[in-house]
Amino acid sequence: MHQRAEPVPPGRHTPNDILAVGPGTEFIRKGINVFDSEFERNLFDLRKSKLVEIEKLGQQAYPNRFPATQDECAVTIPEVRAQWGEATAEALEANRVTVAVAGRIITIRAQGKAGFATLQQGGQRLQIYVRLDAVGEQGFALYKLLDMGDHIGASGYLFRTRTGELTIHVEQLTFLAKAMLALPEKFHGLADVELRYRQRYVDLFTNLEAREVFVKRAKVLKAMRRFFDERGYLEVETPMMQQVAGGAAARPFTTHHNALDMDLFLRIAPELYLKRLVVGGLDRVYEINRNFRNEGVSTQHNPEFTMLEFYQAYANYHDLMDLTEELMRSVAVEVNGTTILPSGKKDENGNPIPRLDPLGNPIDFGKWTRLRMREALIKYWPEDSGPAPSIEQFEASEDLREHLATASDILQSAFATVNSESEALESEVEIEPAGESAATSQWKLRVIRARLAFGDAMEALDTAVPLGKVIYQLFEAIVEPNLVQPTIIYDYPTIVSPLSKQKPDDPDHVERFEFFCGGFELGNAFSELNDPVEQHKRFAEQLAQRAGGDDEAHQMDEDYVRALAYGLPPTGGEGIGVDRLVMLLTGSKSIRDVILFPLMRNAGNRDQGTGNKDREPEEPAG
């Protein structure tokens, strides 16, 4: 039981108030000490005592506004830099500019009766100069009690130092908040990548590059909305809790609605509700939505992710191909000023270095390639496995099985010296034997992957897995990693596309495309199936697959079939993974780099397996 603290005057705090605990009680959370070390605990106690001293100077420990009175206004540091960043020392001296700014102390130093500090706010920094004779005894005493990470207000006039740095000559300091824990080492922010994800609140102010990623993310969403609003689309919202987990092939999260005593699923996709709206006469709709899939994690997958989905009546997948290319160009230019994607690195002048493909060409959203799935398999067939299959060989299971066996034998002969295929594949790290070049190691890894892909495909064909599903699996294993430049892959097997409209002259394939860049899928689109009888049949086939053990097969949605029976016009629909798009537009290497608060294991369980998952049949997970 916590002891009750003694009453204190209004607006004043005791050190224990800051912790909301009684004297002698440890600062703990669920029985876990929040301090990483005894040093950190002692530092926390030291800063508590400083806060007491600051209050003795007449400052509030936690004031509620800066400036204190409602009739005063402060300017932001970005506004100061925008308005006076180019002003000369002479101009500032001739026409004195007085400003009041607030920010977090990033650096601070004092020498005798004066000192400099750097404030950060709004992603920019500004130097302040504090002198005893300008701020007075109490003001300078406050300055000496400040630490890196504290928030302060500074009022004074602008000038330039002898080195030309724009600086505020402070005339009044106001204390705003104390950082009770120490900032990371000042020039590097958080070095531990996992700690950056767990403590994003520290990462954002110690690593301005991380902050810029999320500023760009917001710009991406803004650009998307502008693009569709200008084309007459209506932004809508659909349920996140659903009775049927539909719209994609994925494993859902489950929950329970107590008031209705009803089991529900968290949304894996908004698709079926958006198409209901098209039935209802909303001909052009879009939604930027959060989806949840109870699957593994990797650098490209996160169980909770953001998608853009849009639907257009009286359009087909060819119309959406054109729209997709236009959308990607538009968003890239609005966010980065160019269609060329960044690598995430900058040159000596601070300019982004372009991301290059394996041939050394910049990856460019202004240049697109379109291939049918079978054409892509032929184009990217492993060159060390002999000639690629013909289009006709993809039409019969026996013919494809025979070709895969021959290709696998060729690879086996070329790679007879490899002894540990599984270890090399699992680590994906080339440990080079003495005298072996990096190129040789990369070649070995490609051959291992191809042999495993061929082996899996032959096993699937031997166990009567549908041909279309095997072709799709081969595509994922062989082709997808090669799609670095923007590429549209279209005409997918019907068996893996239960919501897509079949091609009129080829019932084994549907009018569906996915687009890729950077070696992974970004979006998925198709001409929507609008025949209620055929849709019911497809759902029934999916139920049979579910009964056979495929827990990602689509569920039956009788109400959606009923909606189709009222008449869905010819419609094109598409889903785009926002997180993955932001990865490309910011040069980020992991999806967690572009999600503010990615879900992490409990800190005590870091060494347990990751349960990675690399399959997404219908929609991009992020």
Residue 615 has pLDDT above 80, yes or no: no
Q: Are residues 99 and 119 in the same domain?
A: yes
Q: Are residues 508 and 382 in the same domain?
A: no
Q: Are residues 280 and 427 in the same domain?
A: no
Q: Which of 151, 177, 203 is the last residue of a domain?
A: 177
Most confident residue range from 30-44, 476-490, 542-556: 476-490
Helix and strand totals (H; E) in the chain: 18, 21
Three-class SS of 381-424: CCHHHCCCCCCHHHHCHHHHHHHHHHHHHHHHHHCCCCCCHHHH
In one-letter notation, the amino acid at residue 172 is Q
pLDDT value at residue 249: 75
Residue 131 has pLDDT above 70, yes or no: yes
Give 358's pLDDT tier (boundaries 50, 70, 90).
Answer: very high
Give the chain's domain count: 4
Q: Are residues 562 and 600 in the same domain?
A: yes
pLDDT value at residue 353: 96
How far apart CA 573 and CA 557 sit, in angstroms, is 18
Per residue in 261-305, pLDDT tens?
999 999 999 999 999 999 999 999 999 999 999 988 888 889 999
Give 414's pLDDT tier (boundaries 50, 70, 90).
Answer: confident
Burial profile 406-431: b = 16 or more Cβ within 10 angstroms, e = fewer = ebbebbeebbeeeeebeebeeeeeee
CATH number of the structural domain spanning residue 549: 3.30.930.10
pLDDT value at residue 580: 96
Q: Are residues 361 and 502 in the same domain?
A: yes
CA dihedral 201, 203, 208, 214 (to 10 degrees): -60
Residue 63 domain-assigned?
no
pLDDT value at residue 101: 97
Residue 188 domain-assigned?
no
Strand partners, 234: 285
Structural domain for 19, as ranges: 15-56
Q: Are residues 268 and 416 in the same domain?
A: no
Per residue in 563-610, pLDDT tens?
999 999 999 999 999 999 999 999 999 999 999 999 888 765 544 444
Q: Which of 416, 436, 470 is the last residue of a domain?
A: 470
Q: Are residues 618 and 499 in the same domain?
A: yes
How far apart CA 321 and CA 478 sit, in angstroms, is 23
pLDDT value at residue 556: 77
Residue 220 domain-assigned?
no
Q: Are residues 361 and 379 in the same domain?
A: no
Residue among 156, 112, 118, 116 at smallest CA distance from 134: 156
Largest pairwise CA distance in the chain: 91
CATH number of the structural domain spanning residue 109: 2.40.50.140
Q: Which of 177, 195, 214 is the last residue of a domain?
A: 177
Residue 622 domain-assigned?
yes
Lowest mean pLDDT among 158-162, 182-186, 421-425, 444-448: 421-425
Residue 318 has pLDDT above 90, yes or no: yes
pLDDT value at residue 458: 95
Q: Are residues 162 and 301 in the same domain?
A: no
Q: Are residues 270 and 399 in the same domain?
A: no
pLDDT value at residue 275: 96
